[in-house]
Chain A
């Protein structure tokens, strides 16, 4: 187990290095740089700026410098916002994104899984039909529509939630609903279908025949096996809720990570693009690793050998 984790962490670093090289190459192949603007800069000023940020050096040199600084935990300085470091941006934006994201993940797990189970146990009942209907809507409606709808109906018309920013507890309702909507619906459907699959198995019949009560049959025998597909989905989902929050942050005017990232892309702010991409990729890969470990915990038949 420990060997496996170490091996995976190592391959994670290799993957991140490849991603960073790719991003770096791609980014610099974009026409235009951070100092291209409407107003022509005097050549001396431009040269000075280029020198200040090390852009006058050959590409591989720039890349090595960047990686060197990265290993020291320094993500670099923004080329557009003078004096602001990327570390600042992350420490400022991440708490907001993480808070909203984590609440959304909790909502997804603590609502989606139980509702999916209930729906499976009461298959073809009225509850099941209602749940599946709502879940299908959840999958069909994009988050930006849910977000704007929440803001318009509950914010403007009913005045229940503030329209933007994060002020009180009720300002979380809009972003969390918009962020969790799709995944909540997806997890519910996934949980239901995998539960239905498991409930048909022989060992469930055996457990029932042996006189175990419903609670034990479901909680101890069925749930563990039915959770595997859900776990597969949840890992990347957690990471993409962090990345997918761009839209929600835009609609609800939240000062999160997504805002910085989209801004930096349009501004050609090299260091910010690079660092935030790597940050997201690291979170993503780490979540996938957690999923693989979770597999082994849930299902002892899966051995973490490779």
Chain B
């Protein structure tokens, strides 16, 4: 009989096998998350923001509450005028003169030696150089948005070219100062701490209260489930903001109360989600097996049911962070959150509202900070959802 089969040398087929290292669930999730550029950008951004929040306020030379009214409302970049030798001045929109260095460092707020309001001029003495700041043209050009149209500068009695200015960036206060002369950079970094703390607490509360509450309600079922879910319904049927505002009033505003209120309310969605998951999981065989082996209720919930629902839990936790940060900013903006002199992004934005026409940068800085953080968490959340979805597993 003709044998068409050939004997293969041992080991000769090893190279052709299509083997792949077997990955655990989390390794696979991480592998897919890494391929998602947006999600990784978000993750890197979050790490950077967290590092800045923790260490940032340490290396800025100011504290978040340091005030100096003389240095109020100084923008991020300005036009400085050369007076003489190494003397530069910056004419502030509020008709104040600052002595500058050529690179944009603020030396001091100048004090006028003479102030003549009828003739509309002020005299300054800078290291023996007499500077006359004449703002008599201000009224005629009041509609102009260019500061230079509104004044004339005389050095030792000679009119100098006021349009001959150089644009420099603020070296003393990188992001300018607010209406009380506080460093905005320090305050924004400090605000990042508050926002991230709030986000972190919201996600932890979600994890501990929400997951356990939902797990117990779902596993126990029956009357207990009914009562527990009615409580959730009641909390859920009052607009979240209303509860938070009411609670903020009882306990006085501050970071601690924001954390308590957000903690009191934010677990509701998670509880529902977990209950739904547990309801379908508890009918499966592995739970029956565990029960047959005599595993206790608590252990079944914590060790068997919750790990099986971990995907949606992680995504929901991730999404709770930006929404908590949003709520905090919103409350602080309404004046119900962090109180002065502490700074959060919401209060910074709210403080900037009054001066929005003259100093839009004061609003722009915290707004950008909020938006960037939101982007980061949303991108990471979206990426995690895709990575954890077993249907998209390749």
- Residues of A near any B CB (own CB < 8 A): 15, 18-19, 23, 26-27, 29-30, 136-137, 139-145, 148-149, 151-152, 156, 236, 239-240, 243-244, 246-247, 250-251, 261-262, 265, 273, 277, 280-281, 284-285, 288
Quick one: which of A145, A152, A156, A243 contacts B371, CB cutoff 8 A?
Answer: A145
Quick one: which of A30, A136, A149, A243 contacts B239, CB cutoff 8 A?
Answer: A243
* Chain A proximity mask over B336-380: 1 for CB below 8 Å, otherwise 0: 100000000010011001001100100100010011101100110
- Of the listed residues B326, B333, B336, B375, the one surrounded by the most CB atoms of chain A closer than 10 A to its CB is B333
Interface of A is mostly: helix
Quick one: which of B238, B350, B357, B371 contacts A141, CB cutoff 8 A?
Answer: B371
Return B48 CB to nearest CB of chain A, in Å: 16
CA distance A143 to B334 in the complex (A): 12
CA distance A239 to B249 in the complex (A): 22
Return A200 CB to nearest CB of chain B, in Å: 10
Chain A residues with CB under 8 Å of B238's CB are 19, 277, 280-281, 284
CA distance A285 to B234 in the complex (A): 10
A239 B239 Cβ-Cβ under 8 A:
yes
Pull 21 A–B residue pairs with CB atoms less than 8 Å apart, ordered by A.
A19-B237, A19-B238, A26-B247, A26-B250, A27-B246, A30-B249, A136-B375, A140-B371, A140-B375, A140-B378, A142-B330, A142-B367, A145-B363, A145-B370, A156-B356, A251-B353, A262-B245, A265-B245, A277-B242, A280-B242, A281-B242
Return B306 CB to nearest CB of chain A, in Å: 24
Interface of B is mostly: helix
CA distance A2 to B372 in the complex (A): 49
A277 B370 Cβ-Cβ under 8 A:
no
Chain A residues with CB under 8 Å of B241's CB are 240, 243-244, 246
Return B354 CB to nearest CB of chain A, in Å: 11
B239 A280 Cβ-Cβ under 8 A:
yes
Chain B residues with CB under 8 Å of A244's CB are 241
B234 A18 Cβ-Cβ under 8 A:
yes
CA distance A174 to B363 in the complex (A): 17
A281 B239 Cβ-Cβ under 8 A:
yes
Asked if B53 lies at the interface with its beta carbon under 8 angstroms from chain A, I say no
A30 B250 Cβ-Cβ under 8 A:
yes
Asked if B271 lies at the interface with its beta carbon under 8 angstroms from chain A, I say no
- Extra pairs beyond A144-B346, A152-B356 (6, CB < 8 Å): A29-B250, A140-B371, A148-B353, A149-B367, A156-B357, A265-B245
Closest to A144 in B: B333
Chain A residues with CB under 8 Å of B234's CB are 15, 18-19
CA distance A137 to B249 in the complex (A): 32
Given the contacts A140-B378, A281-B238, A281-B239, A145 and B349 also touching, CB distance less than 8 Å: yes
Asked if B33 lies at the interface with its beta carbon under 8 angstroms from chain A, I say no
Asked if B233 lies at the interface with its beta carbon under 8 angstroms from chain A, I say yes
CA distance A273 to B334 in the complex (A): 16
B242 A243 Cβ-Cβ under 8 A:
yes
Return A305 CB to nearest CB of chain B, in Å: 15
Closest to A268 in B: B249
Chain B residues with CB under 8 Å of A136's CB are 375, 378-379
B374 A139 Cβ-Cβ under 8 A:
yes
Asked if B384 lies at the interface with its beta carbon under 8 angstroms from chain A, I say no
Quick one: which of A15, A247, A250, A280 contacts B233, CB cutoff 8 A?
Answer: A15
